[in-house]
Amino acid sequence: MCDTCGIGPEYTGSGISVFGKNSDREPDEAQIIQSLPSKKYEVHEDLRCTYITIPQASFTYSLVISKPFWIWGAEMGVNEKGMVIGNEALFTKVKQEKAPGLIGMDLLRLALERGGDAREAAQIIIDLLAKYGQAGACGFRDKKFSYMNSFLIMDRRDILKLETVGRDYALKHTGSQAAISNGITIAQDWDSSSLAPGANFSSFSDKMTTYFAGSAVRKSHNETTIKQAKGRIQANDVFAMLRRHHADSPGKGFNRDVCMHASDPIIRKSQTTASMVVELHPEHKFRILVTGGSAPCLTAFKPFLPAAPFAATGTGAGQYSSASYWWRHEAYYVNALLRYESIKPLAQKYIRDIEEKYVSTFPAHTWDSADDFLVKSSHEAFHGAEEREKKIIEQMKTMNIHSFRLTSLFWRRVAQRSGVRII
């Protein structure tokens, strides 16, 4: 499960465009953040993606991506040209091809590496899809988990929705705002498609799986929030959207929380393992804001510099490691989730303090800026967030676990297999 939104200058009222996404994955699947430089390649070089090898491009743009550690592709990212993409799983009647192909996250990264703007990126995905198809396991532990993909692709001028099933696609220009989740949103109102004129792209949907995925509720909430705040949306508003819970407590009911928490091995088995918000400013400037860990309701967004990344965010695998920012945060997250109601006010104050100190004062910058103030502020934000989380961990030692029994059992098993210590 995931949720993605794109908001143009008409809705921000500031000349800025804003992208936001929660990446929902398996609970102990570390997600890392990489800053990758632009690069030129020799003719006839090959590129190994997650499952197949394809010809390499002659040139790739520099980019920042957030990705599950074991996949070549990415869940979300932005490139130096100011083009941003997030993808969503689609559950459809169409089954994957038997032969391996590109998965949605591969297509996303390839478009970021090769696309100079949103329209070019969309065409790159369409062409790659036609040539290689989309096929391959998309789960870390659950290798039977696979899906089709939708993409929200935006730059400073355009916001596009591209929905794909098998090798077919439907593309729609959305105007000044869009929100997507885990359901097909384009019916017959596409601008271009591989289907015959007048065909209904939504007829591919597996309605039952899509319903239990809770996507309609999540998407509707984000769309309503965007429209109600038209003309005054800021990054903080997108943070709040990505932190939303549908019920009074996270992990209850079907998958209707934008900020997703896993709580059982059957219905709620995914959680938000990473979040990213990107501001695209005029004059080719950016602000890239990430959590670097699970659950934006329990951690702060921090500014991330392409030219000076916080190194520990680029490390992580399938087991706890003290070298990994994601895993160090996960040790806090798991224990906080088991005491959520007690921890909630402490977490909210910590988040407010960090974001007021480091996000609200962090200026927009060029892609390659490594100004001393920017670097110091970015790295201090990550260090400061960790110090606050360590203090809350100490306070947890005097708190009882009070989560539902099934949730507690589920997380104890997850923690045991991944090496996280339950306090």
Is residue 408 one of the residues assigned to a domain?
no
- Report pLDDT for 301: 98
CA distances from 333 to 47, 69, 95, 297, 389 (A): 36, 19, 35, 10, 9
- Residue type for position 183: G
Residue 387, helix vs strand vs coil: helix
Token digits of residue 318: 């399938």
On whether the CB atoms of residues 191 and 159 are closer than 8 A, the answer is no
On whether the CB atoms of residues 256 and 38 are closer than 8 A, the answer is no
Could you give the residue numbers annotated as active site? 2
On whether the CB atoms of residues 263 and 404 are closer than 8 A, the answer is yes
Token digits of residue 245: 């819970």
Token digits of residue 26: 């398996």
Token digits of residue 296: 């934006």
Is residue 404 one of the residues assigned to a domain?
no
Is residue 392 one of the residues assigned to a domain?
no
Residue 186, helix vs strand vs coil: coil
Is residue 318 one of the residues assigned to a domain?
no
Whole-prediction pTM: 0.96
On whether the CB atoms of residues 269 and 145 are closer than 8 A, the answer is no
Count the domains in the chain.
Answer: 1
Give the CATH number, domain containing residue 119. Answer: 3.60.60.10
Q: Which residue has the tokens 């030129």?
A: 40
CA angle 356, 346, 295 (to 5 degrees): 75
Gap between the Cα atoms of 152 and 159, Å rounded: 7
Is residue 183 one of the residues assigned to a domain?
yes
pLDDT tens for 148-200 read 999 999 999 999 999 999 999 999 999 899 999 999 999 999 999 999 999 99
Q: Which domain does 130 fall in, by range?
A: 2-311
Gap between the Cα atoms of 302 and 292, Å rounded: 8
Is residue 181 one of the residues assigned to a domain?
yes
Instruction: State yes or no: pLDDT of 253 exceeds 90.
Output: no
Which of 51-55, 266-270, 403-407 tops mean pLDDT? 51-55
- Residue type for position 63: L
Is residue 295 one of the residues assigned to a domain?
yes
Is residue 196 one of the residues assigned to a domain?
yes
How many other CB atoms are there within 10 angstroms of residue 10's CB atom?
13
Token digits of residue 257: 């929380």
Least confident of 30-44, 57-71, 202-216, 344-358: 202-216
